[in-house]
Amino acid sequence: MPYVELVLIGIGSCVVFDLWQRLFQVFTSIPPTNWSLVGRWFIGVISKGRVFAEQLGEAPKAKYETAAGWLVHYAVAIFYAAVFALLIHLEYLRASYLDGFIFGVATVAVPWLFFMPAMGNGVFANKTPNPLLACALALMMHSIFGLSLGIGFSIRGV
């Protein structure tokens, strides 16, 4: 598969993710992910070498944190698309909406066990006011993202 197509599927699936969060906000008033905080975390990793942050929301704003956060968000989406393509190539998964959904569900382990703790929210968001909601939202979003990947790769005919 040409890299351009892989990148476009990753970006397209990330766009679906972002649009869904905004639509979901209309119906629930739950705001979308704050990518500025992700950027603040990433800039902290690059500049200070610290992967795990404490009280990231209270940390001073970093220059370009919003742009950095969005860049990280889309770079991770492209990385996930590459992993999904590799798993298809190795014949562990098929280019289908069902396997995409399964992949998305499996990838939620990353925010639950790495990104949430790294951003100061604890494993399974246990340091947030509503850990169950935070984890459920991550599961929903990763499921939709994975489903989008599966659809993208199935349209491509991989």
**What residues have CB less than 8 Å from 138, skipping those under 6 apart?**
108, 111, 112, 116, 125
Q: What pTM, to 2 d.p., does this model score? A: 0.93
Tell me, what amino acid is at 49? G
CA dist., res. 156 & res. 79, Å (int): 18
The span from the CA of 115 to the CA of 120, in Å, is 9
Grouping H, G, I as helix, E, B as strand and the rest as coil, residue 55 is coil
- Encode pLDDT of 25-37 as tens digits: 999 999 999 999 9
Which amino acid belongs to residue 55?
Q
59 — pLDDT class (breaks 50, 70, 90): confident
For range 98-118, the mean pLDDT: 97
Residue among 148, 65, 133, 37 at smallest CA distance from 101: 148
Q: Running DSSP on this structure, what letter comes out for residue 125?
A: G
